[in-house]
Amino acid sequence: MSTIKILKGRWVLTMAPGAPVLERHAVVLEGERIAAVLPWDEAEARYPAAERVELGQHVLIPGLINGHTHSAMSLLRGVADDLALMDWLNNHIWPLEKKWVSEDWTYQGSLLSAAEALRGGVTYLNDMYFFPTAMARAALDSGIRAGVSINVIDFPTGYASGPDDYIAKGLAAYEQFKGEALLDWTSAPHAPYTVSDETFVKLRQLAEQHELQMHCHIHETQFEVDESVKQFGMRPLERLNKLGLLNERMMAVHMVHLTEAEIEMLAAQKVHLVHNPNSNLKLASGVQPLKALEAAGVNTILGTDGAASNNRQDMFGEIRAAALLAKGVTGDPLTVSARTALEMATIRAAKAMGREADLGSLEPGKLADVVAVSLDALECRPVYHADAQLVYVAGREHVSDVWVGGRQLLKQRELTSIDVSALLERSEAIVERMKTER
């Protein structure tokens, strides 16, 4: 069988800067990379022996990048709802994690999230959790890309006894899986309210030494900001800036409560922000000031957060929420266009991960992470503007096919790399035990 595939879509949205929606175009895959994006007839003429994939009324887009999640927490989906963040963490999530989280638990939850992600058009999960070897194995077994974290928190858990133990175990996992093409790694302090200055500096040095991005919850709630002022005499961002953490390596997650001066600083220091609109709404944490961030030129991307707080790991839902929320809270319908919202889940996200040379757009030479979204259903018709249709009409249920590095992982809504029945059986067994022994 030919290693060259011609994916023929009714529309192609390459997400290359300034590129229009292309009609009756094909994305040509050769091995793990994109060889060309051409009109149908030109693709047929140039690659006569290629395998053809006819996709009818589909839009072809780059694989979506989930900029922040806790994959294993799919096993905690719905365990504690309608609570404020600190109540949710202290009285529900952390006690459950202390009792149950293990290598196998984390692997099963991570594999469940990978399956959910692929069925929703997500080809990259930027994860933050304990037992990074489990996330790494789940990514490799499913075929999805992952940013795996060297995750650190200052108090003991079932995973590690303290910050030095977290770092040692994270580095051992990094060394074990270093060089795997599907995996990136991040230096991931949990948050300013759970990590000391000394630990932050160690993780900054680790990121610099190994050329890793950093991944941290920051300014998620007003309570966090106020407590930092009481404890340190300064807001969290000022503290992290003094420690040398605010630069182009940092992916700052949530960033809901920001001053004008902080936004200017973030732009000047090229910090990447990860907007989690649905999780922040559900936990009543607030709404990120996206209009002001856009005006300042801050690179802002999208994430779902974990399934315990969202509860959907649905990037189409985040894209739509980001566009609509920004309009609603500012009274400006021009704030965050459909195209901008899509950029936040593709090309901008690739930049934040340090992967813009390989990912985030459908361009020759880039890795063949491609998603086909069907607009054939009556709920998706008529189609005037395919890009806006993806944001305001289509959902993850309209994703039909997914390729990662040229390998098809979703075919007509069926996963090809994961035994779904076995996965659900194992996951339900874990959850039933948790329910019985709570």
Complete domains list, the chain, with CATH? 4-63+360-405 (2.30.40.10), 68-352 (3.20.20.140)
* 362: Cβ contacts below 8 Å, ≥ 6 apart: 12, 13, 14, 15, 16, 27, 34, 37, 60, 61, 62, 370
pLDDT of residue 2: 62
Tell me what pLDDT residue 151 has: 97
How confident is the model at residue 81, as a pLDDT? 93
Yes or no: say if 153 and 218 are a contact pair by the CB < 8 Å rule: no
Residue 404 — φ and ψ, nearest 5°?
-125, 120
Report pLDDT for 86. 87
Predicted local confidence at residue 390, as pLDDT = 98
Longest dimension (CA), the chain: 69
pLDDT digits (tens, 9 = 90+) for 316-362: 999 999 999 999 999 999 999 999 999 999 999 999 999 999 999 99
Q: Enumerate residue ranges in the chain where pLDDT < 70.
A: 1-2, 438
Tabulate helix, strand, coil % of the chain (nearest 5): 40, 20, 35
pLDDT at 437: 82
Residue 145's SS3 state is: strand
pLDDT tens for each residue of 186-215? 999 999 999 999 999 999 999 999 999 999
